[in-house]
Amino acid sequence: NAEQRFIIAEQLKELNVSPKAIILEPITKNTAPATALACILLSKNSPDPLILVLPSDHVISDSKAFQCAIEKAAKVALDGYIVTFGIKPTRIETGYGYIKTGKPLSAHKGFFKISKFIEKPDVVGAKRYISKGNYSWNSGMFIFKASVFLNELKRLEPEIADSCRRSISTAKVDLDFIRIGEASFKTCPPNSIDKAVMENTTKGVVGPVQLGWSDVGAWDSLWEISQKVLGVLFLDTPQ
């Protein structure tokens, strides 16, 4: 969002990262349009780039496992699949969506066709999914070729694809930022990657992984990933 532009720029500077572009959205439209904008922009300067989509508010404690997972998933994505990372459940959890794994890919060990996406379940549903063993938490992380995602988006949600292309065509550079065309983006239907593409495509693939992952979506999630300090409180009782 345009209102967070200076926070993002400063944090990237602290990490010594020089981004090729920071795209500013004038209006929030969810993850499908945001991803489409990035795919369109990156495709202008690179022949069919490989795109890794990562939510900014997630925590991954095992970076080596994550890097390994990306390397494996990239090979699958290069074969024309839209790959998502499924987190192997470690507890009964009603705060995450679930992915049901389907048939394994013969050419890529450890990756499976997506059978079904499930919204956040109740406790009974979560227990049932975990007991079956072929369900993963939906991480919201993806890797794919730009052309594959854009072609599927154009087929499934043509209004989003068209609005995003027009928004990039009328974009303006403002210092380190790219301001997309607001008039065109206003007409873009809001939708998530899951709803717009993943629940309807035949190219969806999931790779179950263990990364020490949390989406930090609630206070208990923040407590779980935080360093704990043991303290003792003494109360001075009046005599």
Identify the band that residue 221 occupies on the pLDDT scale cut at 50, 70 and 90.
low
Q: Is 175 left (phi over 0), alpha (psi -120 to 50) or beta?
A: left
Res 233: pLDDT: 61
Res 20: pLDDT: 86
Res 215: pLDDT: 78
For residue 115, the tally of other CB atoms under 10 A from its CB is 15
What is the separation, in whole angstroms, between the first and last Cα of the chain? 59
Say which residue the tokens 């854009």 belong to: 150
pLDDT digit string, tens, across residues 91-106: 888 888 999 999 999 9
DSSP tag of 100: E
Find out whether 43 and 205 touch, Cβ atoms under 8 Å: no
Find out whether 85 and 141 touch, Cβ atoms under 8 Å: yes
Nearest Cα to 205, choosing from 130, 149, 129? 149
Identify the band that residue 47 occupies on the pLDDT scale cut at 50, 70 and 90.
confident
pLDDT digit string, tens, across residues 6-39: 999 999 999 999 998 899 999 999 999 999 999 9
Which pair of structure tokens corresponds to residue 122?
Answer: 């109740």
Identify the band that residue 223 occupies on the pLDDT scale cut at 50, 70 and 90.
low
Which pair of structure tokens corresponds to residue 224?
Answer: 């779980």
Res 203: pLDDT: 96
pLDDT digit string, tens, across residues 160-206: 999 999 999 999 998 889 999 999 999 999 999 999 999 999 999 99
